[in-house]
Structure 1
């Protein structure tokens, strides 16, 4: 069996120009409430977001990042990409401070991730290690599926202040980085998922919310990774 991460299909670039992206951001910042998280089927999730090259000034970018952070917390989630609120820009926020079952934390190599925002991220695997676990998405509400991802990755990105950064991530943190970066290239976790593992959130909670995936693999009939 091949348990390498599945490749994404190349997505078309966003058709929106810088001015149109700015107008979308201004509309979100003018809301009295947090923006809705768009769901699978919305074209913005299937387009390659525009690389950030100064479309927003520092103040507006900072405001957008804060709105995205609040929206992520409210959902709640551990990451949110700009396309998930309808903005086709290569920007995502990440943070994982959830209390999780200790056994699950060990099995999934899940450790707290401090908040950070990344622009124009690019990741690359470090070594051949992979991990297969259930994951979900705020833009695919109500479902979970098993995804094989690189266990260790390096990440190159821009910080909001424009400086270049590089970091390495392992375990669940690496999974979050890959998931959010995929969003910026028109990918959803379903593109990389084992289709026979797909479960409603209710069935996942009732049957498969375990540290590993071996029982789900045996009973649903997909490779255990």
Structure 2
């Protein structure tokens, strides 16, 4: 595997930057040192940014890798706790017919929240940091994180999933209007 930018910068790509609109490449050698280093740096970046997930394109690497790390924090006070997990070359095998609209934010779309429809339950397949294959079913908020991060690998942000521009609000308004309700 060869990283697209050898000079890794811990900054996060912002909406409009071309890397966020590209379909990411499959990771060929998960155990390669540069891939392992990318995963480590992504885990650090998402922790510092207070996110619940981050995808490689958000750190300027067009590769099919993302981190899921749900836990309660200032941005998502009701998030369930899960161990930080590297998700590599993911695919959705099955999606429930049940879809739910809920609020999402994104480290690449600062200061905004959107009401995004997502499947409530998904069955997925992916490789972990040690190149082991997993088939897992995710529900609710964790399923939402997976779908959100997978969109980044396909060149989409949550803005592309909005049904209406009226479903997009500033984060400060969201906190005042919706976060206070829990």
Residue 71 (str. 1) matches residue 40 (str. 2): no
| Match for residue 47 of structure 1 among 17, 22, 26 | 22
The two structures have a TM-score, normalised by structure 2, of: 0.90
Matched with 1:165 is: 134
What is the correspondence of 1:108-147 to structure 2 with a 5 Å cutoff? 110-147=79-116
Unaligned runs of 5+ in 1: 1-17, 213-225
Matched with 2:58 is: 84
For residue 62 of structure 1, give the secondary structure of its aligned residue in structure 2: helix
For residue 49 of structure 1, give the secondary structure of its aligned residue in structure 2: coil
Residue 184 of structure 1, CA deviation: 0.3
Residue 197 (str. 1) matches residue 178 (str. 2): no
Check 1:178–1:58 CA distance in 2 against 1; reply closer, same or farther (3 A cut). Answer: same
Paired with 2:93 and 2:179, the residues of 1 have a C-alpha distance of 29
The two structures have a TM-score, normalised by structure 1, of: 0.73
Paired with 2:15 and 2:73, the residues of 1 have a C-alpha distance of 28
Matched with 2:70 is: 96
Unaligned runs of 5+ in 2: none
Corresponding pairs, count: 179
Contact 1:58–1:161 (8 Å) recurs in 2: no
Residue 111 of structure 1, CA deviation: 2.4
Paired with 2:83 and 2:146, the residues of 1 have a C-alpha distance of 12
Residue 202 of structure 1, CA deviation: 1.0
Residue 27 (str. 1) matches residue 1 (str. 2): no
Contact 2:13–2:58 (8 Å) recurs in 1: yes
Contact 1:78–1:94 (8 Å) recurs in 2: yes
Check 1:162–1:198 CA distance in 2 against 1; reply closer, same or farther (3 A cut). Answer: same
Paired with 1:23 and 1:112, the residues of 2 have a C-alpha distance of 32
Check 1:131–1:207 CA distance in 2 against 1; reply closer, same or farther (3 A cut). Answer: same
List structure 1 runs of 4+ shifted beyond 4 angstroms. Answer: none
For residue 136 of structure 2, give the secondary structure of its aligned residue in structure 1: strand
Contact 1:82–1:88 (8 Å) recurs in 2: yes
Which structure has the bigger radius of gyration? 1
